[in-house]
Structure 1
Amino acid sequence: MKAITVRNNSGRSFIRWVYQDKRYSLTWGLWADKVEKARLEYCAQIIYKDCLVGELDTTLTKYRYWLEGIVSSSNGPVNGNSNSTPKQTYPALIELLEQRLVDYYNVADENLLRHLRNYKKVIDTAVKAKDFITWLKNKGNKSSSQKRYLTILKILRKDLFGDIEIKVAEKPKPKPFTTDEIDRILNSLQTDQYYSHYYGFILTLLNTGLRISEGIGLRWGDLDLQKREIHMYESLGRTRGNTSHRERRTTKTAKYRIIPVNNKLHDLLQDLYKGQSKEQLIFTSPTGKVLDDHLISQRC
């Protein structure tokens, strides 16, 4: 069974899947609403797992209740009656977040989990939810971090955190390198005594817009030199609990992309290719290990 992905359906977030040769679909929230879209993405994971173990609620009641912020005590219609009001039982926030981390590891989730454990108070009302956000602020968390935590909390418990808003001062827009600056960077790097090894990696990032983890994880099998294309669907992200180690996973957006390769990059990659296996990384450290982006950014 293929993973269930959220799609845009006339401005609404929408999922569709097949279970036991029957088609199902579910629509929830506006496509432009990132929090509601994320809730549907998380719900899609629940549906996917239920399908794999043969426990899909074919009425979809369980999943609609979950999206509303209600966890039903049954798998399907409550007491056999689809018109019954479900018992509103909620797992603790820590439990919900631990489960989310199993499915999708993120540093922000990990930090939020640490804060929840340190808080040591039950959060089961909207008032207590606001108290927790105030506590985060008083602990010295930046407003941008608070907002990121709040987004996660809204995905997990919209009923508690849905009405809370955090304003973040607008940051100045980043000023990208000019073409002249890029040329100067690459020219300097190409002839540098210590860091010329990383020229190809930096050139690739600047010519494709790949994320750092995507560039690090790029393999020869992802490249089609004849068609001049990079096929991007995986990255080499940091491992939970061990940032010095990386593991292969889908890209940040979990979307498959085809990236065109221009002449300059094509010439470079053609020169680098020596008949390596498809599984071999294109860019490695001077000793053949996985690239360390911290070393590159801080030194190179």
Structure 2
Amino acid sequence: MRPIKVRQNGDSCLLRWSYEGDTYSLTWGKWTDAVDKAKMEYIARLVYQDSLSGNFDTTLHKYKSWLEGLVYTGNGNGSNGNSTPKPKQPPLLKLLEQRLIEHYATADYSLLGNLKKFKKEIKTPTQAKEFMKWLDEKGLKVSSQKRYLTTLKVLRRDLFESIQLRVGEKPRPKPFSINEVDRILTSLYNDPHYYHYYDFVLFLLNTGMRISEAIGMRWQDIDLDKREIHVYEVLNRDKGNSSKRKRQTTKTTKFRVVPINNKLYQCLSNRSRGNPEDLVFTTTSGLVLDDHNISQRCWKKTLEKLGIPHRPLYNCRSTFISHCISSGIPPHDVAAIVGNSPDVIFKHYLGSIKKPVLPEL
């Protein structure tokens, strides 16, 4: 017997399988509801396991009762053994584990670890508040708490719906000045240990690409004749393992073209081109770049040596965006180049370089 998969049937979730020559189907919930879909995924595994072990309920009452939040008694009815059915929701950990199987996210994986460390099963809204308080007392950033809470509300709205968190507005990313950029690049170019990463940092500063986009850049994506870079893929970490990455579409899933300026053209022209499928930037031993290692060693030490206040390597992107706007490029054109929406450009970057001159009254 093959594992059972949840399929879409109109607006509903559908399971269809065969057992001992007979065909069965079960339709329930909304296809667009992540919780309903997760519950059906659980039932798919339960039916599969019951079929293999010979415990399959051919009446389907067991599975329907579970979906309706009732405890199955084995007599064809869902109840708690008394006259009044007792609601029962699937365990939070099970729902989160299923969500990770379907759509892996680093934040959800971290949330799973914290739920396990909490060592208490969350069954009531009061216990849900205790868990969120525990996260806060651990010193977890409010922004991370809010990200966790969004996932928890999707999984168990009945437990977490009443909880609200306020996150203060983040300050705009502080770009590097032209002088700081020149000093950083000069230092890398002359550094006997970190010279290898000079081209990579120059590439980030002159394209505004996301780091995973630059790491995944291949020679086939670069057209020096037309002076343009085609961006449509990234190399993301596979389940938080920095030594293993998988190729995916960009964050926005949209293709875009990044122009190549004179400085970047000279840099790329001087590099040895490999096969079209080869990565443009690698480690000294030819492996995929690990941006954490670059950030903690090359980048951090370079800024410390120069006495430049530390900002993450990702700030190369905000630096590019801010200086593009400062140079007079229309925000909607900048948005198209870096793969943001114009709203994001206006909200987070406009005015970060040039400040308005107020009148003297």
TM-score surpassing 0.5?
yes
**1:87 alignment partner in structure 2:** 68
Match of residue 26 from structure 1: none
Aligned equivalents of 1:54, 1:131: Cα separation in 2: 34
Q: How many residues align?
A: 239
With over 3 angstroms needed to count, the CA separation of the structure-2 counterparts of 1:135 and 1:207, relative to structure 1, is same
Show the counterpart of 2:221.
222
* Shift in CA distance, 230/55, structure 1 to aligned 2, threshold 3 Å: same
Aligned to 1:180: 179
Equivalent in the alignment of 2:352: none
- In 2, the alpha carbon distance for the partners of 1:170 and 1:136 equals 20
Q: Distance in 2 between matches of 1:121 and 1:222?
A: 50
The residue number in structure 1 matching 2:109 is 110
TM-score of the superposition, structure 2-length normalised?
0.57
User: Displacement of 1:242 after TM fit?
Assistant: 3.2
Query: CA 1:163/1:70 → structure 2, altered by over 3 Å: closer, same or farther?
Result: farther
1:261 and 1:103 mapped to 2: Cα distance? Answer: 38
- Which residue of 2 is the match for residue 57 of structure 1? 9
Counterpart in the other structure of 2:263: 264
Q: 1:113 to 1:207 in 2, by over 3 A?
A: same
Q: How does 1:9-158 map to 2 (within 5 A)?
A: 55-60=7-12, 64=30, 67=33, 87-88=68-69, 90-158=89-157
Aligned 8 A contact 2:106 2:240 in 1:
no
Residues 234 and 129 of structure 1, relative CA distance in 2, 3 Å threshold? same
Q: Could you list the runs of 4 or more consecutive aligned residues of structure 1 that deviate by over 6 angstroms after TM superposition?
A: 71-75
Give the deviation of 1:213 after TM superposition. 1.9
Question: CA–CA distance in 1 between the matches of 2:34 and 2:235?
Answer: 35
Instruction: Please report how far the alpha carbon of residue 90 of structure 1 lies from its aligned counterpart in structure 2 after TM superposition.
Output: 4.2
Larger Rg: 2
- Of the structure 1 ranges 181-190 and 241-250, higher mean CA displacement relative to structure 2 is found in 241-250
Report if aligned partners of 1:236, 1:246 keep a CA contact under 8 Å in 2: yes
Distance 1:270 1:155, change over 3 A: farther
- Write the distance in 2 (CA, Å) between the matches of 1:94 and 1:127: 17
Give the whole-Å Cα distance in 2 for the aligned partners of 1:111 and 1:154: 16
Matched, 1:296 2:248: no
Q: Give the aligned partner of residue 283 of structure 1.
A: 281
Cα pair 1:125 1:160 within 8 Å, conserved: yes
Question: For the Cα contact (< 8 Å) 2:232–2:256, is it kept in 1?
Answer: yes
Aligned to 1:167: 166
Given that 2:97 and 2:112 are in contact with CA atoms closer than 8 Å, whether structure 1 keeps it comes out as: yes
Query: What is the CA–CA distance in structure 1 between the aligned matches of 2:164 and 2:289, rounded to whole Å?
Result: 39
Seq. identity, %: 51
How far the C-alpha of 1:249 sits from its partner, in A, is 2.8
CA distance in 2, matches of 1:265, 1:154: 46
Separation in structure 1 between the aligned mates of residue 227 and residue 29 of structure 2, nearest angstrom: 43
CA distance in structure 2 between the aligned counterparts of 1:139 and 1:255, rounded to whole angstroms? 38
